């Protein structure tokens, strides 16, 4: 084990998620540090990122996670496998579980738009195909309870943000450009890094947690009807699913 030790890796899609969430949430842990691992995209749609994620396309989700971690270790040289005591993943749902009939084609659009109960897209068939792929891989991640790192199995948990980070934190329903996402993330960091308990209160609020009684139950909600387009998250269960010594 290196000097780092007791690291909980947080695999996130992009830098905005890392900025807004990782440092504030890490301050809630007493005996571990949360360290971000930016996947540079939605790894549940890894076939779309074959060039940026070589070798991922044919792998199952556990192997994908392991490859991401090993690549991060090699790139950063600041921790080793034995430092990792748990791995979490924070996913944007982006309406992935909506019924196919709620995906509508509008060839006048350049990119997707979201409403409360539908996805508008320039290519409905491609969006449906992506949704099915994402559903399959998310369900695989939900079923994973641990991940093999070297000769050890360490706990693994997937959390979701619905529809995405900005929707959960700021109730922002519009699809933001990268500059807007970055600005929202920095605003969240400034607000919550000194008061991480306020972030936890938000994540546990009725508007976000929807009365879930357990982490396991919380994954049922986004898979029903149009809920994966609505505001919601199960990240409020973070401390409950990690080792109690971190609480």
pLDDT digits (tens, 9 = 90+) for 71-113: 999 999 999 999 999 999 999 999 999 999 999 999 999 999 9
pLDDT tens, residue by residue, 10-54: 999 999 999 999 999 999 998 899 999 999 989 999 766 566 566
Extract the tokens encoding 168: 């959960």
8 A C-beta contact, residue 10 and residue 86: no
d(CA 112, CA 104): 10
Extract the tokens encoding 27: 């301050």
pLDDT tens, residue by residue, 175-188: 899 999 999 999 99
- Residue 191 is predicted with a pLDDT of 96
> Cα Rg for the chain, rounded, in angstroms?
18
What angle, 0 to 180 degrees and rounded to 10, lies between the N-to-C axes of helices 196-203 and 178-192?
Answer: 120
DSSP alpha helices (H): ranges in 35-82?
61-76
């Amino acid at each position: 084990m290196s000097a780092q030790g007791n690291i909980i890796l947080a695999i996130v899609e992009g830098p905005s998620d890392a900025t807004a969430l990782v440092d504030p949430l890490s301050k809630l842990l007493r005996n571990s540090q949360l360290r971000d691992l930016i996947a540079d995209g939605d790894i549940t749609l890894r076939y779309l990122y074959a060039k940026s994620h070589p070798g991922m396309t044919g792998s199952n989700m556990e192997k994908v996670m392991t490859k991401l971690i090993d690549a991060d270790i090699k790139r950063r040289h600041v921790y080793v496998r034995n430092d990792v005591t748990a791995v979490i993943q924070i996913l944007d749902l982006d309406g992935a579980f909506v019924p196919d009939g709620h995906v509508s084609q509008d060839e006048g659009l350049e990119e997707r738009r979201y409403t409360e109960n539908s996805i508008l897209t320039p290519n409905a068939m491609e969006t449906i195909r992506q949704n099915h792929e994402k559903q399959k891989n998310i369900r695989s991640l939900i079923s994973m309870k641990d991940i093999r790192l070297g000769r050890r199995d360490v706990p693994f948990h997937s959390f979701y943000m619905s529809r995405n980070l900005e929707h959960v934190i700021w109730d922002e329903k519009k699809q933001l450009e990268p500059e807007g996402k970055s600005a929202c993330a920095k605003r969240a960091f400034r607000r919550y890094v000194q008061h991480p308990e306020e972030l936890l209160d938000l994540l546990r609020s009725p508007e976000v947690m929807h009365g879930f009684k357990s982490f396991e139950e919380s994954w049922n909600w986004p898979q029903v009807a149009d809920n994966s387009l609505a505001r919601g998250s199960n990240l409020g269960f973070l401390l409950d699913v990690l080792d109690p010594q971190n609480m």
